[in-house]
Amino acid sequence: MRFHVLPMVLLTVLLVLTLAVPSMAHVGSPDVFLQGDAGPYRLFVTVRVPLVIPGIAEIEIRSESNDVREIRVAPMQLTGPGSQYAPTPDVARRSLADPHFFTGSLWLMEFGSLQVRIAANGARGKGELAVPVPAVAQGTLPMQRSLGTLLFLLMLALALAFISIVAAAVREGNLEPGALPSPASVRSSRAAAAIAAFVVFALLYLGGTWWKGDADRYAANVYRPPKIAVTVNEDDRLLLHQQATRMASGNPQRPREWIDFSDLLPDHGHLMHLFLIRTPSMDSFWHLHPERTADGGFGARLPAMPPGRYQLFADVVLRNGFPITMTGQIDASQIRAKPLAGDDSGIVTSPISIDASDTTEAALPEGARMIWERDAKPFRNGTALIFRFRVLDGHGKPAADMQPYMGMPAHAVVIRSDASVFAHVHPAGSITMASFDLAQAGLSDNSGHGAMGSMAMPMETVPPEISFPYGFPKPGLYRVFVQIKRSGQVQTAAFAASVE
Ligand SMILES: [Cu+2]
């Protein structure tokens, strides 16, 4: 028998739909968190990106040491001519209650790949740090009802006042003092009032139409994570292609754009980091690195994943340092096992459940464990935190065999149970390595950073404590996957966290 039709059908996987997940690069998690060095000073920076552009970004900076006297912040483009000339920086306010804490507000006037330059000055001299900030329209700001009502009433009063002024001018404009208006002038004043009313309401109508058109155009350009078309061929290769619909770029000046797959920046050694997570159980997690295919897409060998419905997140970085997370879905029925190779990794673990409490300990192979060092308090949404993890070997001792995984001590993926939030985070923060390096390259003194900078030194060994700066963007149940490498083997720990 040469044709095994039934097994082929069973073994072949079906293609699929894509799903709209609202919001932006690093899906649903727009704020930027970064841990890095401004010269001698270690800073923890949070940039809260505004919902609309132009808009105000709120910046929070925490200094590890107490010898920072002043911090200045300035926004500019990440690459291109706009990255050469820094505007006059603003001085960040130092908190009276906590001298380690500085805050600032910056107007982001442009769309696209921006950065915030941070200059610290203190007892140990000066230092600079650049924070990449992808700026796009993420939504539209609704007007407050009370303000809307007030403005409407004011507009009405103005319109009526204008009409009555016109009527009064026609009726009484040529009147001698003390005389009464003639019946003829009363008649013509009524006619004038009617004409004025027509003109005023016509102008209001046209203005309203123009305003609504503009608002609709803006709303249509609100950034949405681009969808990627996903198929699995007979060889169980996963194929990824651009969707026919272009992505909404979040930039009304250039509303629709293709992502140029031939012009991407590699991010920690790979053009694409692809994450597949089985939903809604969040119990099967795969981190693959598809390669360019001859027809302009991406392709990857699939490992032996348990069947089910998978949410896909494909991270790429554009030439200008703008990070994009594309989303898709597959229904994997059954896949012929192919061993993981290279930097590819994954885990099958227990399902996440609403009733289960948060986990602070996760099993690793051979009796080893990862501990999430956090206090018992539940997480609050929006709060910027440093997540700290400790790795213990099978004997309960701090692991001595940690190695860098793709140039970094660890990688983490934070995902909300409904897949509406996805963030790929590193010890340096929620930014991609590629954009971080681009940003530091523009600093006048980047000696302290170098190519892989403060984020990813060429390390032979990695300490068994790892930390990630991050803040959950909204309440809910989250899964946090932390990936490390020990004795040449990538290991994945899975935690649950509920956020209020
Ligand atoms: Cu990573």
- The per-residue DSSP string of 148-162 comes to HHHHHHHHHHHHHHH
Instruction: Check if the beta carbon of residue 38 is closer than 8 Å to that of residue 127.
Output: yes
What is the pLDDT confidence band of residue 259, given thresholds at 50, 70 and 90?
Answer: confident
Q: Could you tell me which of 484, 489, 490, 493 has the C-alpha nearest to residue 410?
A: 484
Q: How far is the CA of 414 from the centre of ligand 1 (A)?
A: 11
Q: What is the whole-number distance in angstroms between the Cα of residue 424 and the centre of ligand 1?
A: 6
Which of the four pLDDT bands, split at 50, 70 and 90, describes residue 253? low
Contact residues for 270 (Cβ-Cβ < 8 A; gap 6+):
289, 343, 406
Q: What is the pLDDT of residues 110-135, one digit of tens each?
A: 777 889 999 999 999 999 999 999 88
> Would you say 472 and 382 are in contact if contact means Cβ atoms under 8 Å apart?
yes
What global pTM score does this model have? 0.79
Query: Is residue 33 predicted with pLDDT exceeding 60?
Result: yes
How many residues are there in the chain? Answer: 500
Q: Which of 58-67, 175-184, 448-457 has the lowest mean pLDDT?
A: 448-457
Beta bridge partners of 125: 122
CA–centroid distance, 412 to ligand 1, in Å, is 7
Task: Tell how far the Cα of 81 is from the centroid of ligand 1, in angstroms.
Answer: 30
For ligand 1, the distance from its centroid to the CA atom of residue 413, given in whole angstroms, is 8
- Cα–Cα distance for residue pair 403/460, rounded to 1 Å: 6
How far, in Å, is the centroid of ligand 1 from the Cα of 287? 9
Q: 166-180, 181-195, 214-228, 467-481: which has the minimum mean pLDDT?
A: 214-228
Cα(431) to ligand 1 centroid in Å equals 10
CB 472 within 8 A of CB 496: no
Percent of the chain scoring above 70 in pLDDT: 86
Distance 75 CA to ligand 1 centre (A): 26
Distance, CA 76 to ligand 1 centroid (Å)?
A: 26
More confident residue, 237 or 26: 237
Instruction: Copy the structure tokens of residue 326.
Output: 């594309």
E runs forming strands in 92-203: 93-94, 101-108, 112-122, 125-135
CA of 344 to the centre of ligand 1 (A): 11
> For residue 411, how far is its CA from the centre of ligand 1 (angstroms)?
4
Nearest to 385 by CA among 321, 298, 478, 295: 478
